[in-house]
A = this chain, B = another copy of it.
Amino acid sequence: MAKKLMKGAEAMGEAAIQAGCRLFFGYPITPQNEIPEYMSARLPQVGGTFVQAESEVAASNMIYGAAGAGERVLTSSSSPGISLMMEGLSYIAGSELPVVVINIMRAGPGLGGILPAQGDYFQATKGGGHGDYRCLVLAPWSVQEAADLVQDAFDLADYYRNPVLILGDGLIGQMMEPVEFKADRRPCKPLAPKTWASTGWKGDRPRAIINSLFLDPEALERHNQKLAAKYAAMERDEKRVAEVGTDGQYEVLVVAYGTVARVVYTALDDLRQAGVRAAMVRPVSLFPFPYEAVRRAAEKAKAVLVAELSTGQMIEDVRLAVEGRVPVHFIGRQGGMLLTPEDIAARVRELAAGEGSHA
């Protein structure tokens, strides 16, 4: 298919449809209204169903129902709405259902603002809901990658029977870029038929019980350990990371995800022209976090700089990766303010010169 100029939000909606998703349940919230709006127009054209849920709480339970019935299903929201889905997501993870959830993050806490931010990293990666569960979390940096990751997300969700969260950082939802959908795309995982789904029991298989309740603590413990084993498998097999310049020599390693990495990319360009040596690791999967890749790249640097649109969240994972071997510094903006290439370049320069250890 030819390239089209699309908003990130719309491209993600189209990607879901291309991935065979025929069901969307969601509630409007800026800055991602273009996703439900796109779906409300497109889904009926492909025989699918769009339902405007009465709330995000309801939406998270509608996708639970639809996924339990064996269908691919999407919801999307932005930070406050995602917070309302925490109980629902915990149920979905506990019941091992495949769903895809898009969070186009805006600035918080509370009502905050509607401009881009990355303050929901902890919520997404550590599990904002209760109990021991994890979402697989993917963070795109361009409209094209957003579309690609949404498609992969459906495969990953089905393969692991686990929620997959697309963590867009607010820029990605609103930004327009050219995007291309490949007609001959193959699933990124081998997919088994959903024999566990609730489709009416005719006695030809065990009854389908979609459930996260285990009254027997030993059974619940086994279930917890089964989930933990699944998350360990993700940590082994699903790490995704992009690196820029880590094969060469550099003094400063910058770690950033999402569109912030684009800003870093521009900064690295400028720095290279100015003769300052720096490299970047961009985690694409935030859970599983690419600890190994970050550690390896960090060991070659004399300082690590983490750039986030928050007061510092991913930096904890970077510090867990680096384990004190190299000093880890932070640069961030908040509230919808954006980091600029100039900000990053200045800070990298400082660190390369051995200053800035005050942070």
Binding site for B on A (CB under 8 A): 57, 79-80, 82-84, 86-87, 90-95, 105, 107-113, 115, 117, 119-120, 122-123, 126-133, 211-225, 227-228, 310-311, 313, 316, 319-320, 323-325, 333-337
Q: Is the CB of A123 within 8 A of B130?
A: yes
State the oligomeric state as a number of copies: 2
Q: Is the CB of A311 within 8 A of B224?
A: yes
Q: Name the residue of chain B whose CB is nearest to the CB of A114.
A: B215
A-B contact pairs, 25 of them (CB 8 A): A79-B131, A80-B130, A86-B86, A91-B109, A91-B110, A92-B110, A107-B217, A108-B131, A108-B133, A109-B129, A109-B131, A109-B132, A110-B131, A112-B212, A113-B216, A113-B220, A127-B128, A214-B335, A218-B335, A220-B334, A221-B335, A221-B337, A224-B334, A316-B320, A324-B325
Within the assembled complex, what's the spacing in Å between the Cα atoms of A193 and B325?
47
Q: Which residues of B are found within 8 Å of A122, using beta-carbon distances?
A: 122, 126-127
Q: Which residues of B are found within 8 Å of A335, using beta-carbon distances?
A: 214, 217-224
Q: How far is the CB of A235 from chain B (nearest CB, A)?
A: 12
Q: Name the residue of chain B whose CB is nearest to the CB of A95.
A: B110
Q: Name the residue of chain B whose CB is nearest to the CB of A105.
A: B130
Within the assembled complex, what's the spacing in Å between the Cα atoms of A178 and B263?
59
Q: How far is the CB of A317 from chain B (nearest CB, A)?
A: 9
Tell which of B86, B94, B227, B310 touches A132, judged by Cβ atoms closer than 8 Å: B310
Q: Is the CB of A334 within 8 A of B225?
A: yes
Query: Given A110-B213, A123-B129, 9 more contacts at CB 8 Å?
Result: A80-B87, A90-B109, A107-B131, A108-B133, A112-B212, A122-B122, A126-B126, A132-B310, A324-B325
Within the assembled complex, what's the spacing in Å between the Cα atoms of A90 and B153?
28
Q: Which residues of B are found within 8 Å of A93, using beta-carbon distances?
A: 109-110
Q: Is the CB of B94 within 8 A of A112?
A: yes
The answer to whether A107 and B336 touch (CB under 8 A), given A112-B214, A122-B127, A324-B323, is: no
Within the assembled complex, what's the spacing in Å between the Cα atoms of A310 and B95?
18
Q: Which residues of B are found within 8 Å of A324, using beta-carbon distances?
A: 323-325
